[in-house]
Every structure is written in C-alpha cells, then in structure tokens.
Amino acid sequence: MLTHQGGACSHVRDTVISTLTVSNSNAGGPVPAEQLISVTYTIPAGLSNVTASGTGWQFSNNGNKLTATYTGSTPLEAGDSLPDVTLRGTISNPMSLTPNNSVSVATLNDSNSTNDSASDSITVCGPDLSLTKTHQGSGVFLIGKNISYTLQVKNATTGGPVMAGVPV
C-alpha cells in the first residue's frame, strides 16, 4: 500500500511524504527468514531530492528508480507487515500531469504476483491568480483627459507559487 500525507493539492517546492507498507497477504504462506524482499519505487518526473527511510531497510538510488531491500531475521507470516518505508521528495517544477507514485515488491516464490504493485497520485496545483483593475478619480471621464489605471495581480492563499521566468 502506498499513501501520501497532505491535502488534495500539493504545490511546487512542497515536500511530499509518502508511506509504503509491504504486507504478506492472508492467503500467502510465510516468507522465510533471511529471504530478500525488494521494493522498487519509480520516482515521477518533477519530484527531486527523494530520500527513503525505514527500520531494517537498505536503500539504493539509480536514476529514477529507488530500491529498498529487506532481509528479516524472522519469517514474515501471512497477514503480517514489514516496517513502513517513508519516502520524501520535493516537487521541483510545475507539472501539467498528476504525478503517479508507483511501487512494486518482489520476493522468491511469491504465490500471487497480481497484488505486488501499488500507486498513489499526487495532484500538483498551480497558481490561482486574480486581477483587479481600478482607476483614479470620481468615475467621470472627460474626452481628451488622461486616465490612470492600477492593475493588481494576486495569488490566492491556496494557489501554488508563480515560478521565476514564467510570464504573468
């Protein structure tokens, strides 16, 4: 199971925290002690500085793949779960798509490979800009006279940041 913390909307520069739980299904037999269990996490585009932690897990990173391996000293019985893996990453650039976190788990003699993957979507929301236009004076405009306008652009408190170099 893969879930992320936070609300329905994440923004650029937010830290996204996801929790991965690896369980042995109730239908499966035990995973023997000392048998390697491997989880591969595909890092979505636009997520950077990804780190992972979890008791008893060892981690390696190769490009957009983060691998977590676990070798327990006791069997993983049917219905039991391993210690959670916590994944942290920073949303590094605006993405037009909803990034899909996906993971898969593998171990020898797995009796049901159809339940060996999970995914969780992170919705990245952009800015929520509004524009207000006002003019100076009483509202009566005379032909041939200059009029001054003030334009004010605001980003809603729920909107994501406007990225540097992006025209407004």
pLDDT digits (tens, 9 = 90+) for 106-136: 888 888 888 888 888 777 777 778 889 888 7
pLDDT at 98: 56
Task: For the chain, give the percent of residues with pLDDT over 90.
Answer: 20
57-66 mean pLDDT: 92
Q: How, if at all, do strands 57-62 and 15-20 pair?
A: unpaired
- How many residues does this entry show for the chain? 168
Give residue-wise pLDDT tens across range 132-155: 988 877 767 778 888 888 888 888
Residues with Cβ < 8 Å from 157, sequence gap 6 or more?
none
User: Please, which pLDDT band fits residue 59 given cuts at 50, 70 and 90?
Assistant: very high
DSSP secondary structure string for all residues of 9-59: -B-TTPEEEEEE--B--TTS-PBPTT-EEEEEEEPPTTEEEEEEE-TTEEE
